[in-house]
Each structure stands twice: as structure tokens, then as C-alpha cells.
Structure 1
Amino acid sequence: MSLSNENNFKHQLQLRVQFYSMPQNEWKKLRPHFPGYTSGLVKSEPGKFVMNPLYGFHAEKLYRMQPRSDDVWLLGFPKCGTTWTSELIWLLMNDCDTVRASATHLIFRTPCIELPFLTSETELSPQMMNMLNAIEKMQSPRVLKSHLPFYLLHPDLLDTSKVVYIARNPKDAIVSFYHHTKLVKRHNFQGTLEEFAEYFMEDEILCSPFFPHVLDAWSKRHHPNLHFMFYEDLKKNLRGEIEKVAKFLGQSPSDEQLAKITNHLRFDNLRHNDSVNNELGKRTGFMNKEGNFMRKGKTGDWKNHFSPELNSKIDKWIERNLKGSDLTFVTELEYQD
């Protein structure tokens, strides 16, 4: 049964994607490992994008969210550096004001547009609807974040707004997402890293599939309104990447400002910044007590987690999915900023 909105919206956009309950054979396998998904999961057709049912019912709301000409949108697969990069973008768009940034939580400064739908509820609560309305009413210029792929967002987005896409090598993305799903109660993952990696490679976890998400953005990288960047480049040369994003956004921070926000954005500093690190989630019951939302931020941490057998399997998966593409990933760094 389709979970998409079946109403005819004359003279309005219509999302040509429908969402269906995840096939029973897949869900039966996942269910014991993801007890947080009490209402199950859905997949899109076409695209096979995995999300929870509440989003499936309301996908058209976000598809029809009108971008503004002075918006900056940040896109990327989960746990690939979107929190880090959204802080970077907000600072560049707000006169490098680290004092104001530290006084207001990042979730209010650069809201994630699909966040109101990331619950196990089957109806959109008034509180979540208010969050959506607040995004629509935000004062320009807005900085917005999403883990949705391009085809589930407004088709005029890239021709209307500036878009930054952040990509990360899939090995570290797997490890980071694994720890994230164990930390956040709405996932509450109960399996092993090896089991999670299998689900990741089989395109069965939330926001899957990974490679179509990244490759679609990569194919658009020459569009003048898209800046495609890599997490590993932020680790290698943070100030240099800040300067590139500033140029793309038409911002001209002074040397003093660049030095200030470079220090502010160093990963170890952000980990201890309560307006960014999401430790609030533990106090509100959103997250489990063990672990941290901003964990290590290291490129190559996968080497501390993967067995030789698992690493070989992931290498083959990467090679198979990148065949015919000129996209490459850096999985290790000799020096990290």
C-alpha cells in the first residue's frame, strides 16, 4: 500500500515517488536489532530510499518546501560531517559571530528539515508541526540542513539556492553511523558492528542507499550553485576549506575572523561546545547515556573496528558501486588538522 499523499494538487508540485512498507523479509531481519523502530520502516519507489513511515506519509510537504534565493542548504548522508559543516556555514553567513553561535543551539540556527518526521509516531504532532512552521517563517538568509537526496527535495532547489554537499569515505561513515544508532534511542541498535555494516551495504538502514545519495550530488558538482566538499579535506586543511566555502557563499571574512572561526571549528573544540555537541539529548532522554554524538571525528578510525574479512568485503562493495565513476574516497590521512 502506498504511503504517499494521494491528493491531487492542481497547479502545484507533485512528488513522483511513493513510499511502501519495507518488504517483510527485510523487516523481519532488522526488527530485533532496531527495537526503536516501533512503527517499522518504508522504502521509496523509485530510489529505494529508507525512512520511517511518518516521513513517508508527508514526503510531499518537504518536496514542496520552497527554497529562497538567499538560502544556503547543506546536504549529506548521516554522520558524514553535516553537524560540523552546518556550524561552519552558519558562522560564515553570520559575520563569524562565535559568541552568538555558542549562545544558541545549532538545531535552531541550522534546522534539519526532516527532523519533525524522525519519530516512531504515526501522526505529526502539534509540536512537530510548529517546528516545520518555524522553518518556513525563519528570517532570511536561512541555513538549512537535510539528509534527503536531491530527488526528494524541491526540483528548483539547485537553481534557486546555494547548496553545499558534504561527503565522507564510506568506511568511517559506517563506523560513525553504527555508534550513532546505538546512542540515539529512536534507533536503539542492538547488534554488532559487523551486522550493522551488512545492513549498510544492503541498503537497509535509515537514509540508505549510500552510494546513489553521494553519486547524484557528485554528478551535479559543476553546477554553479553547488559546492561539493569532503570531510577528509576538512580534517586535512580546515582553514583552507573554510576559505573555499566562504568564496562560494560570497563571504569575505578577515584574517582575524578566519583565525577565530578556524579555532572554534576544530573538532576537539566542538566536542566540548554545548551548542553543537548535542549532549542536550542525554538530558532530555533522546539519547542513551553511553557514548557521544560527536565522538572522534578521525579519518581512518575504521581500522580500529574492521576485521580483515569485513574490510575486504567492504572494499569489494565500494569498488562495485564506484565502477564507471571518477569519484574516489580518501580512507586514511597521514596528517589531520
Structure 2
Amino acid sequence: MTPHRYRSHDEDSRRWLSFPMRDDDIVISTRSKHGTTWTQMICALLVFQTPDLPAPLPELSPWLDWTITPVDEVHAKLAAQDHRRFIKTHTPLDGLPIHPAARYIVVARHPLDAAVSLYHQGSNLIRERIAELTGVPVPASKKNRLSLHDWVVNWTRAENGPREDLDMLPGVMAHLGDAWARREEPNLLLVHYADLSADLEGEMRRIAAYLDIDVPESRWPALVKAASFAEMKANAEHRAPDPKGLMRSKVAFFRRGTSGAAAELLASEELAAYEARVADLIPEDLSAWLHRP
């Protein structure tokens, strides 16, 4: 079956169709601000087994769907890599040609926390630079931004279909719902941002086991430290996903890294409306897993 096509002003999942996969490839499939860079860093540390990475993280783990970099250029860079590859995508699994021997990691986060991070990331982007590279004018909605509260409320009420805007609530639920339905498949691992926050070493060991990567015990302390939020932020120049200079600040990309505060933004009736929408979009067991402390 041909994968669904997902497109935005700077993404096109069709770029995967011509990409030659390797049996040991690792594909990191996430929604924006769900722990993408964190998971890329963990994979980099497990593959190279040292905090001293041979290149900036965005070079080691390129975003294949991103149309700002020509597809032939991305494919050539990945073809030249002789280490085990770990590739970033914001495309849901139903938009990817699934290679049976490759490994797929889907990362989830409490949706309201991700929405708050997405809002702040929007403030950190240089929209004019993006418009220059994509040829798409800056939308009026990006020029005249709502307050954080109002933006998050609108985000919870959005009716955009997943093909229209994957980063709004229906798109997030579709991405995670599809992965949840596949969770028993042997080449898929679901990771929760809250688990990374609560037990980073335990989650790194779980990911290593899933990827069949053996790490000597003596190396674990340095690898776990390098994957911590503080270390990632301290090395933002080489960790933030900004190869084209689209961010005002790479440090600001790593804003807080905490969870749980977003729900406090909403009044009780707004939170109840959000919960009702989620119940319409995803099964109860996924919602319980997604929203747990």
C-alpha cells in the first residue's frame, strides 16, 4: 500500500519513497516538540558510545522530509554515512515506507506540554528567513500572535485534518494513534517524554536493548550525563536542529524541558473541553498512557 502523503510549506513525506533504506537504520518519528532532538541525541550517544560526537547532531541525524535542503543532498549525505544511521522525521508511520528490518521509535509527550513548547518555538523562529527559503510568505497568523493562553485554547479546538496541519491537536492524535495501533509490532518502540524525564538512564538502557546495542557499564555515566537537559542546553550550538540559521537563539530551543505545567493555563471548563475532544480522537488506553503524570 502506498503511504499517505503529508505536506506543509517546508515538509514533504514523499521524499522517503526514493530513499534507499538499510536494514539497521533507525527512524525517529515524532511530532514537533515531543522530544525529537532528545531522542536523536540518545541514539547518537548509543551509536557512537561517546559524548564527543564527530559532527553536530543535525548533520549526523538529518531531517529527511525537510524541503529546505534539496532531497538529493540529504540522500547523498546519508549514503555517505558509514555508521549506523538514525534519521529524523515528523511524518507519521502511515506516511512512511516501512522497512521490515529497520527500527522505528515514536516519541510521545503530554499534548498540552508539547503545545506550549510549540508556541514558544514559534516565537524563536525567524519567519522572514523561512519565507525567504521556502518562497511562502509569512502568514498573518504568524505575524500577529495570540497570547499563550489563547493560542493553546485555539490549539485544543482546532478542526484541521492531519493532512492540513499535523502539529494541531487532530494531527498529533492521528500520529500517536497510528503508532499506538502498531505498538505490538517488533520493529516499533514507543517512548514517553515523561519517562525520559523521570528515569533517563532507564529509558536509555531500554532504547539500547531495543536497538541491540551493547554499551559497556563504564560508559553509561558519561552517556547519561551528555543526554541530560542541562548538557544539551549547554551544547546548544551543536545540538539544536538549526542547520540553516532559522532560530533567533539555539539556546532558547532548549527552553525548560519540564512537564506538567501546561494544564494550569486552562480554566476548568477549557480543560474539560480538551479532554472531551481527546476522547473523540483516540482510544481511552492511549489517552491514559499519554496523559499520565
Shorter-chain TM-score: which interval?
0.7 to 0.9
CA deviations over 1:98-136 (Å, ceiling 9, x no partner): 11x2x5211001111112x1x5xxxxx7x5642343234
Find the residue that maps to 1:98 and give its secondary structure. coil
Output the CA distance in 2 between the equivalents of 1:201 and 1:229: 26
Q: Counterpart of 2:135? A: none
Q: Which residue of 1 aligns with 2:179?
A: 217
Q: Which has more radius of gyration?
A: 1
1:278 and 1:61, CA in 2 relative to 1: closer, same or farther beyond 3 A? closer
- Between the aligned partners of 1:138 and 1:163, the Cα distance in structure 2 is 19
Cα distance 1:290–1:182, how it changes in 2: closer, same or farther (>3 A)?
farther
> Aligned partners of 1:166 and 1:216: how far apart in 2?
12
Aligned length: 272
* 1:166 counterpart = 2:107: yes
Amino acid in the other structure paired with 2:181: S
Q: Which residue of 1 aligns with 2:231?
A: 269
Paired residues of 1:183 and 1:291 also in contact (CA < 8 A): no
5+ residue gaps, structure 1, are 1-13, 18-43, 120-124
Write out aligned runs for 1:168-317 (5 A). Answer: 168-184=109-125, 185=127, 186=130, 188=142, 190-193=145-148, 194-199=150-155, 201-204=157-160, 206-208=165-167, 209-278=171-240, 285-288=245-248, 292-317=252-277
Q: Which amino acid is the alignment partner of residue 25 of structure 2? A: D
Tell me by how many angstroms 1:231 deviates: 0.6
Query: Once superposed, what is the RMSD of the aligned Cα atoms?
Result: 2.8
In the alignment, the residues of structure 2 paired with residue 305 and residue 314 of structure 1 have an alpha-carbon distance, to the nearest angstrom, of 12
1:296 deviates by 0.6
Q: Does 1:108 align with 2:59?
A: yes
Counterparts in 2 of 1:220 and 1:197: CA distance versus 1, 3 Å: same
Change (3 A) 1:248 1:80: same
Match of 2:73 among 123, 127, 130: 130
1:77 corresponding residue in structure 2: 31
Matched residue, 1:149: 92
Partners of 2:108 and 2:183 lie apart in 1 by 12
Alignment map for 1:14-93 (pairs within 5 Å) = 15=2, 17=4, 49=6, 51-52=8-9, 55=11, 59-93=13-47
Letter in 2 for 1:288: R
CA distance in 1, matches of 2:59, 2:226: 19
- Is the 1:68–1:161 Cα contact (8 Å) retained in structure 2? yes
Compute the displacement of 1:279 (Å).
8.4
Structure 2's unaligned 5+ residue stretches are 131-137
- What amino acid maps onto 1:198 in structure 2? N
Residue in structure 1 matched with residue 133 of structure 2 by the alignment:
none
Q: Which structure's relative contact order is higher, taking Cα pairs within 8 Å and 6+ residues apart?
A: 2
In 2, the alpha carbon distance for the partners of 1:299 and 1:142 equals 30
Secondary structure of 2:253 counterpart: coil
- 1:292 to 1:326, Cα distance in 2 relative to 1, 3 A: closer
1:134 counterpart letter in structure 2: K
Q: Percent same amino acid among aligned pairs?
A: 19
Partner of 1:139: 82
